[in-house]
Structure formats: C-alpha cells, structure tokens
Amino acid sequence: MNIKKNLIVLISFPILILFFMMISNIILEGHAGLSWNYFVTEASHAGRSGGIAPIIVSTTIIVILTLLISTPFSFCSALILTLVISKNRYLLSLFEISLTLLSGLPSVVFGLFGSAFFGKTLGFGYSLISGALTLSCMVLPFYTKILHDNFKILPREYFLSGKALDLSLYQFAKNILIPLNLYAIAAGAIFSISRALGETAALIFTSGYVDRYPHSLLDSGRTLSIHIYDLALNIPGGDQAALKASFVFLLLSLTINFILSVVLKNTLLRGLQ
C-alpha cells in the first residue's frame, strides 16, 4: 500500500511542479502594468495596448447564455432519460453510450457544426448567439450525464411518493429533484463555465474575432481565450499582452466559480432548514 502511495506521489510531484511554475509565471509576468484602465478601455494596436473591456463583456454574455441554454435542456434530458427511456434497458444503454461519446468529441467538431448549422443554416453568422449555442451543444452531453447519474441513485421512494401525491412533473422537479440535486447542478454549471471560458477552437468558427463592444446577440464578439490565443500566436510583440490577459482570465475564472459555489451552497443550506 505504501509503495502505491509513494508511486502516486512520485508521479504527481513533477506535474504539480509544472503546474505551479505555469501559474507563477502568469501571475508574476501578467500583473505587471495592470491597472483599472485595462478593464474599462478598448484594445488598441491589435491588442498590444489598451484594455479588454469589450472582450470581458463578450465573454460574460457567452458564459451566461451558455448556462441559461444548457442548464434547462440538460435537466429535462436527464429527467426524460430517468423517467421515460429507463423503461427500455437497451434504448437507455444506447443513449448513455451516445452521451459518453459526444462528451469526448473534440471541440473543433462542435465548432464546425455550429458554424454550418447556427451560422449558415439559421443565418446567425459570426455572433455571440452562435458561440453560446455551440458551447451549449458541447456541454450538454456531459451536463446531462452528471444529472442523470445523480437521478439514478435517488431512492425509488421519491419517485413513488411523487406519484402517490399526484404531483405534476413540474412540481416533482421543482420540489424534490432540484433541491436534492443542487450539487449536481452546481457541478454541471461550473463545468459549463470552465468550458465556456476556456474554449477557443469552437468559438473561432462561431463567435468570431471582433474586439469591439457587441450591441446585440447577433454581433460578433471575442472572448478572453480567443484574445489570448490571437495575441500569443498571431500578433508580433503580443506576448506580454497575452500574459496580462491570461492573468485576468485566471482571476475571472476563479472568481466566477467561487461565487457560484457559495451561492449554490447557501441555497442548499436554506433548502435544508
């Protein structure tokens, strides 16, 4: 047992060292020259100078839209899998395998699908709504799987009690399923936020590169991840600006996940009182 434990520590140690080296480099190099103006002004000189205000706005809109779209669809999909499709064992297995396969698809595949379907077929073009819909499709399988796995382990008595009380599906979901599965919903939401914040490949094909303020959901918008990618690879002399944007990205990701965790935890505690 000690040999296995020591082996795990030995393997994990270099990975942790590399991780902390990367984070420390972003923090030490990225915070240099950071000021309030950086958060409230637009980018200039192809992002080498100026700020990232429009980029933060576009990122926030896409993240919120992704959550608003993916959460109800994932919840309803998991509910249908649990209450309806589970009656057919073979059909349920087919859906579960499909969810697993879709969860592992490369993001560029979703990006090409989003560009073809949302951008061209539906006519949204390069826009915030195209990006959000594409990301929603990308997180939907994993989010649905998280909720379905939690619904499956609920005692059967909850479902029987709902039937005995003649609760509608809406009442059953609102009063029983949601309070009992807040942590699963939180896990899926945090995953969706992390995926939306860090996604680049899918959004290049759907939301676009524009670094101006979006005036509607049909406008193109650049997220922080795309901004970092563009500065690091396409803009000569953009390395320092990329590190600064990476530092903000790190802070934004940690802050959003922390706030969401606290809010959902407090909601759960109020529900148990």
Q: Which of 30-34, 99-103, 231-235, 251-255 has the lowest mean pLDDT?
A: 30-34
CA–CA distance, 202 with 66 (Å, rounded to integer): 13
What are the structure tokens assigned to 256, written together? 């959003």
The predicted structure's pLDDT at residue 154: 78
What CATH code is carried by the domain that includes residue 153?
A: 1.10.3720.10
- For the stretch 42-85, pLDDT in tens is 888 777 788 888 999 998 899 899 989 998 999 889 888 888 88
Q: Is 23 within a domain?
A: no
The predicted structure's pLDDT at residue 234: 82
Phi, psi at residue 179, to the nearest 5°?
-60, -35
**Looking at per-residue confidence, does 260 or 42 come out higher?**
42
Residue 235 has pLDDT above 60, yes or no: yes
Burial class (CB in 10 A: 0-12, 13-18, 19+), 41: middle
49 forms beta bridges with 44
Orientation of helix 239-272 relative to helix 224-233, angle to 10°: 160
CB atoms within 10 A of CB 27: 14
- For the stretch 133-168, pLDDT in tens is 999 999 999 889 888 888 888 777 777 777 777 777
Q: Is 12 within a domain?
A: no
Tell me which amino acid residue 88 is: N
> Which are the contacts of 168, defined by CB distance < 8 A and separation ≥ 6?
none
Orientation of helix 182-198 relative to helix 53-83, angle to 10°: 140
- For the stretch 199-222, pLDDT in tens is 888 889 999 888 889 999 999 988
The predicted structure's pLDDT at residue 87: 80
The predicted structure's pLDDT at residue 197: 77
Q: Which of 201-205, 244-248, 252-256 has the lowest mean pLDDT?
A: 252-256
Please say whether the beta carbons of 222 and 61 come within 8 A: no
Which long-range contacts does 134-137 make (Cβ < 8 Å, 24+ apart)? 134/110, 134/202, 134/203, 134/205, 134/206, 135/62, 135/66, 135/70, 135/110, 135/192, 135/195, 135/196, 135/199, 135/202, 135/203, 136/65, 136/66, 136/69, 136/70, 136/73, 137/110, 137/113
- Number of continuous H segments (helices) and E segments (strands) in the chain: 13, 2
The predicted structure's pLDDT at residue 181: 76
Q: Is 63 within a domain?
A: yes
Domain housing 166: 31-272
Q: Is 92 within a domain?
A: yes
The predicted structure's pLDDT at residue 267: 56
Q: Is 129 within a domain?
A: yes
What are the structure tokens assigned to 115, written together? 């560009």
Q: Is 249 within a domain?
A: yes
Number of domains in the chain: 1
**Looking at per-residue confidence, does 37 or 26 come out higher?**
37
